């Protein structure tokens, strides 16, 4: 079927934020007295809410995690936010979807204030009806909560709306709101992670997504 409304994750789906996010995490860890020279080890931070990742991967308490998030933002808002690349083929995909009369939205766990900057930086604003993200205090960082908010704000029909993302959080968030989901394999979720989440569709490249978009 042709879904009329499409919710897009941002990091790992529309853009590749690897350098900026991992360097920002590295900076935050250093301020907490933890030296982490291997940026590859920090890739799991791309996608999920940051405070949860500091707790999960480094054993921080909740208060320590929020201190780390604050330190992360010191680097990210000045430098890391621009250490980002748009995936090849994204403008062409968005152009095609808009030409079909569909409405596109960004639904990201990244704070909206930062998501807006990224979308403007890559000149993507014309494609999207609205950009939704979390608040700086963590409100709506949970993907299911965020999707629920978007659906309510825009009065979207769950049967005619689909979520597109690269991590299990996107798929699970969609399922909790009775939405179909599309997993993309070119981002930061492993093949196993995405398969285990049971999305309705999996596309491994932007070109596959473009050619087969339901």
What is the CA angle 71-72-77, rounded to 5?
105
* Predicted pLDDT of residue 1: 65
The answer to whether residues 170 and 164 touch, using CB atoms and an 8 Å cutoff, is yes
Distance, in Å, from the CA atom of 209 to the CA atom of 79, rounded to the nearest integer, reads: 31
Q: In what order do the strands lie in the sheet with 103-111?
A: 130-134, 103-111, 5-8, 161-165, 181-184, 201-203
| Distance separating alpha carbons of residues 86 and 10, to the nearest angstrom | 10
Q: Could you list the mean pLDDT of each consecutive 10-residue stretch along the chain, which spans 214 residues? A: 94 98 98 97 95 97 97 98 98 98 97 97 98 96 97 97 98 98 97 97 98 96
The pairing of strands 161-165 and 5-8 is parallel
pTM: predicted TM-score of the whole model, two decimal places: 0.95
7 contact partners, CB below 8 Å, separation of at least 6: 105, 106, 107, 147, 150, 161, 162, 163, 164, 174, 179
Residue position matching structure tokens 């979807």 = 97
Q: Where are the domains of the chain?
A: 5-16+85-212, 18-82
CATH 2.40.50.140 fits 18-82, yes or no: no
Q: Name 94's Cβ contacts closer than 8 Å, sequence gap at least 6.
A: 104, 124, 127
Residue 151: name the closest of 110, 111, 103, 187 by CA: 103
For residue 106 the two structure tokens come to 């960004």
Phi, psi of 149 (to 5 degrees): -65, -45
Instruction: Clarify whether 157 is annotated catalytic.
Output: no
Give the active site residue among 9, 11, 142, 170. 9
Q: Which residues contact 194 (CB under 8 A, 6 or more apart)?
A: 166, 168, 171, 183, 185, 202
Architecture in CATH for domain 5-16+85-212 = 3-Layer(aba) Sandwich (3.40)
């Amino acid at each position: 079927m042709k879904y009329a409304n499409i919710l897009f994750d941002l990091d790992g789906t529309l853009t590749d934020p690897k350098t900026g996010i991992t360097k920002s995490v590295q900076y935050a860890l250093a301020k907490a007295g933890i030296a982490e020279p291997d940026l590859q080890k920090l890739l799991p931070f791309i996608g999920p809410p940051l405070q949860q990742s500091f707790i999960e991967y480094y054993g921080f308490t909740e208060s320590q995690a929020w201190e780390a998030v604050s330190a992360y933002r010191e680097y990210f808002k000045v430098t890391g936010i621009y250490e980002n690349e748009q995936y090849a083929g994204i403008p062409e995909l968005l152009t095609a979807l808009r030409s079909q009369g569909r409405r596109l939205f960004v639904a990201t766990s990244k704070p909206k204030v930062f998501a807006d900057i990224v979308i403007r930086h890559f000149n993507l604003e014309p494609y999207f009806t609205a950009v939704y993200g979390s608040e700086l205090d963590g409100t709506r960082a949970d993907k299911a909560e965020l999707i629920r908010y978007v659906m309510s704000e825009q009065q979207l029909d769950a049967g005619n709306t689909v979520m597109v993302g690269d991590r299990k959080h996107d798929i699970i968030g969609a399922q909790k709101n009775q939405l179909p989901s599309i997993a993309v394999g070119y981002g930061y979720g492993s093949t196993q992670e995405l398969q285990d989440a049971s999305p309705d569709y999996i596309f491994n490249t932007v070109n596959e997504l473009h050619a087969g978009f339901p």
